């Protein structure tokens, strides 16, 4: 990372000793006055009234009373990390954006992932769209790529954004439900807005239950413009592809995790970075020549549509690595202010009416939420390049400007700061004309073909999950008319889909086909095509008790660590367990404080006493049964195989992800087979078979 590309807040790698030195510093007020007692307020006698002159008490309490700021209306619950972006090669042909032209530059970034509907205190694993926003601290200013993990959106025009969000949020009369679209208001709105149909298929899919942020795609959603030095523009769509592949939770896991570990995604991101398993994403673009704007059978300015990769391939242009956790959640993750209007020369907007509304709304909401137009002065929002303007005063102005002038033009300040005639941001110039009307373009009028494309592209398992999700979501709707409208809406996507959903929500199946399925598909839309068979970053539970076979535990832990996975010992109590030969192993989690939900695979090592203890523990048996129900890899060696015979994994079928070795002589071959099974992620044939 070059010196010029460093953010003003440089990387902070404190040692424990440095932290202890800081922790030993004297407590002071905000004015720097040393405090001699912060446990007792100033009183008249030890039982007398408190005194108004206690300035330390006043400051401490009044600051506490004002510590909360308005949470984001949407994307309130988020997690974030620092990192860098580096282009693969120069994109000067397409854009004059400097950070995309020099592959030797590592541009600092701050990426925030979030849920959309829930409050700050809601759970991570709920079924929801995920925000995927990245702030690039470039040498030409800050650029924000503000997107989601789904390439399309609910609506076409930003004027309806308040309506869709109001419908998603808890119902106003009783503030129920939290962080869920499974309620009447949402589906009432959706059933009356045909343009939402495509997005709804994505919402019901596994995409809204990501396994982790590091295994989740990101999309810019809108069509933007790239402009090169000659002024030529091309349309562009942005894609983030996780290098670990795209994987999801199953719905039962997601629901249970919301209670067992509501911080599941946040914890995973934090721990992965702390352990050096840095999340990596490849940035790709779909480039559309200006003259090809109207060559598709859909409008590229319609945010409810995507551009199939078979029509316009995604060109990889660079990689983002997230390698540092925030130093302070509030100061960085909570106060970071993203806005699509934050662009740099070479990146411009299209006329997408949803994007045009976001250009106003995001900046406006940041001023309200952070309480001042000076929110850009907060360290997490400051650009790394010099910035000068005549904007002064306002709440929390953090710059001390020394010039006597704050206007332009001026002679008293040598006409500074002055606009640049050579380097300034220039919006792409084009002629526009038309009548003032409130209408949609006819090219925005078709709403079902891409929903059908998405449905056709899913695997059999993914389709089954969509239907089950619809049964849950629409099944929560109290109004029969809304459920009927939704089934009819789905009948325009696919007749069989509508019949399957109707069966689970108490609605008569449609007898006629509303819209004929066109039969087209796009392999890139299925998660199966985006899987990467790697165990890097995976977590494996080792179930053990006193008397465990030490060699088997040590061998598999080392093999997993060498492959980039993490193994944790789970037992009845915390502390140490002693192996059959007297070695001691630290217990990382207990059956009470963890669950198979938090792991990607389960291993039971041998050791007669250990296995007999686990056989008598119902929690241990349920741990394995639950992992089996969630299609995860399960393994055992030695006497551990006998424990599996008491669970759902008793069939011991290798092709269903149950890997066993009865003797330690097969340990090396076993480890290889187990690691390959973990990389498979899920073994859906347990259901389909």
Under 8 Å between Cβ of 247 and 681: yes
Two tokens at 54?
């206690």
What is the number of residues in the chain? 689
379, two tokens: 């360290």
From the number of C-beta atoms within 10 Å of its C-beta (0-12, 13-18, 19+), residue 614 rates as buried
Round to whole Å and give the CA distance between 148 and 493: 23
451, 197 Cβ separation under 8 angstroms: yes
Q: What span, in angstroms and rounded, lies between the C-alpha atoms of 449 and 452? A: 5
The residue ranges of DSSP E strands in 536-623, in sequence order, are: 539-543, 566-571, 575-578, 584-587, 589-590, 601-604
Specify the 3-state DSSP secondary structure of 267.
helix
**In degrees, to the nearest 5, what angle opens at C-alpha 316 toward C-alphas 324 and 522?**
115
Query: Any catalytic annotation for residue 148?
Result: yes
Query: Which of 56, 82, 142, 148 is the catalytic position?
Result: 148
Hey, is 203 helix, strand or coil? helix
| Burial status of residue 562 (CB atoms within 10 A of its CB: 0-12, 13-18, 19 or more) | exposed
Q: What does DSSP say about strands 584-587 and 633-637: parallel, antiparallel, or unpaired?
A: unpaired
What is the rounded CA–CA span in Å between residue 332 and residue 326?
7
Residue 601, both tokens: 């695979």
Q: Is 666 a catalytic residue?
A: no
Taking CA 663 as the corner, what is the angle to CA 660 and CA 667, rounded to the nearest 5 degrees? Answer: 70
Strand ranges of the sheet holding 658-661, from the earlier edge strand across to the other edge: 589-590, 566-571, 539-543, 601-604, 633-637, 658-661
Contact 371/337 with Cβ under 8 angstroms? no
Residue of 75, 183, 265, 681 marked catalytic: 75
Catalytically annotated residues: 75, 148
């Amino acid at each position: 990372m070059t010196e010029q590309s460093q953010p003003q807040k440089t990387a902070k790698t404190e040692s424990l000793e440095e932290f202890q030195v800081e922790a030993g510093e004297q407590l002071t007020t905000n004015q720097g006055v040393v405090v001699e007692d912060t446990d007792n307020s100033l009183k008249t006698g030890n039982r007398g009234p408190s005194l108004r002159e206690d300035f330390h008490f006043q400051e401490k309490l009044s600051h506490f009373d004002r510590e909360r700021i308005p949470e984001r209306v949407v994307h309130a619950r988020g997690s974030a990390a620092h990192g860098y972006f580096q282009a693969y090669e120069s994109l000067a042909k397409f854009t004059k954006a400097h950070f995309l032209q020099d592959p030797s530059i590592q541009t600092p970034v701050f990426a925030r992932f979030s849920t959309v509907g829930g409050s700050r205190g809601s759970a991570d694993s709920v079924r929801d769209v995920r925000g995927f926003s990245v702030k690039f601290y470039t040498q030409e200013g800050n650029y924000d790529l503000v997107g989601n993990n789904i390439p399309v959106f609910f609506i076409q025009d930003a004027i309806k954004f308040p309506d869709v969000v109001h419908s998603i949020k808890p119902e106003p009369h009783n503030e129920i439900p939290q962080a869920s679209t499974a309620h009447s208001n949402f589906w009432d709105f959706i059933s009356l807005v045909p343009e939402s149909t495509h997005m709804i298929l994505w919402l019901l899919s596994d995409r809204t239950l990501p396994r982790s942020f590091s295994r989740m795609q990101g999309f810019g959603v809108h069509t933007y413009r790239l402009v090169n030095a000659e002024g030529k523009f091309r349309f562009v769509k942005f894609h983030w592809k996780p290098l670990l592949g795209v994987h999801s939770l199953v719905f039962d896991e997601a629901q249970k995790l919301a209670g067992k570990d509501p911080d599941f995604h946040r914890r995973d991101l934090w721990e992965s970075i702390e352990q050096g398993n840095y999340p990596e994403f490849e940035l790709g673009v779909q480039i559309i020549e200006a003259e090809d704007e109207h060559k598709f059978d859909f409008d590229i300015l319609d945010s409810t549509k995507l551009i199939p990769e078979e029509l316009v391939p995604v060109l990889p242009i660079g990689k983002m690595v997230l390698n540092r956790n925030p130093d302070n959640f509030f100061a960085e993750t909570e106060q970071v202010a993203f806005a699509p209007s934050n662009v740099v020369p070479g990146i411009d907007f299209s006329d997408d009416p949803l994007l045009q509304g976001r250009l106003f709304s995001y900046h406006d909401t940041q001023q309200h939420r952070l309480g001042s137009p000076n929110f850009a002065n907060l360290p997490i929002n400051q650009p790394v390049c010099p910035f000068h303007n005549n904007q002064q005063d306002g709440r929390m102005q953090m710059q001390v400007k020394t010039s006597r002038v704050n206007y332009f033009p001026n002679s008293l300040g040598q006409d500074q700061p002055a606009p640049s005639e050579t380097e300034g941001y220039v919006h792409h110039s084009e002629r526009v004309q038309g009548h003032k009307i409130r209408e949609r373009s006819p090219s925005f009028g078709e709403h079902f073909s891409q929903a059908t494309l998405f449905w056709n592209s899913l695997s059999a398992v993914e389709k089954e999950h969509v239907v089950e999700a619809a049964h849950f979501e629409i099944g929560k709707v109290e109004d029969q008319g809304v459920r009927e409208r939704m089934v009819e809406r789905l009948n325009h996507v696919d007749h069989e889909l509508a019949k399957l959903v109707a069966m689970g929500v108490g609605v008569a199946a449609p007898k006629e086909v509303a819209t004929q399925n066109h039969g087209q598909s796009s392999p890139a839309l299925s998660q199966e095509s985006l899987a990467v068979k790697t165990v890097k970053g995976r977590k494996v539970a080792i179930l053990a008790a006193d008397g465990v076979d030490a060699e088997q535990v040590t061998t598999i832990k080392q093999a997993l660590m060498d492959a980039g996975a993490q193994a944790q010992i789970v037992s009845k109590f915390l502390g140490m367990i002693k192996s059959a030969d007297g070695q001691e192993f630290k217990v990382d989690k207990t059956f009470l404080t963890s669950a198979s939900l938090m792991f990607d695979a389960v291993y039971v090592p041998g050791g007669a006493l250990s296995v007999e203890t686990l056989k008598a523990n119902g929690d241990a048996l349920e741990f394995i049964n639950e992992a089996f129900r969630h299609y995860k890899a399960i393994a055992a060696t030695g006497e551990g195989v006998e424990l599996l015979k008491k669970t759902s994994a008793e069939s011991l079928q290798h092709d269903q992800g149950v890997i066993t070795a009865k003797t330690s002589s097969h340990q090396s071959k076993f480890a290889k087979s187990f690691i390959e099974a973990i990389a498979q992620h899920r073994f859906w044939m347990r259901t389909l078979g």
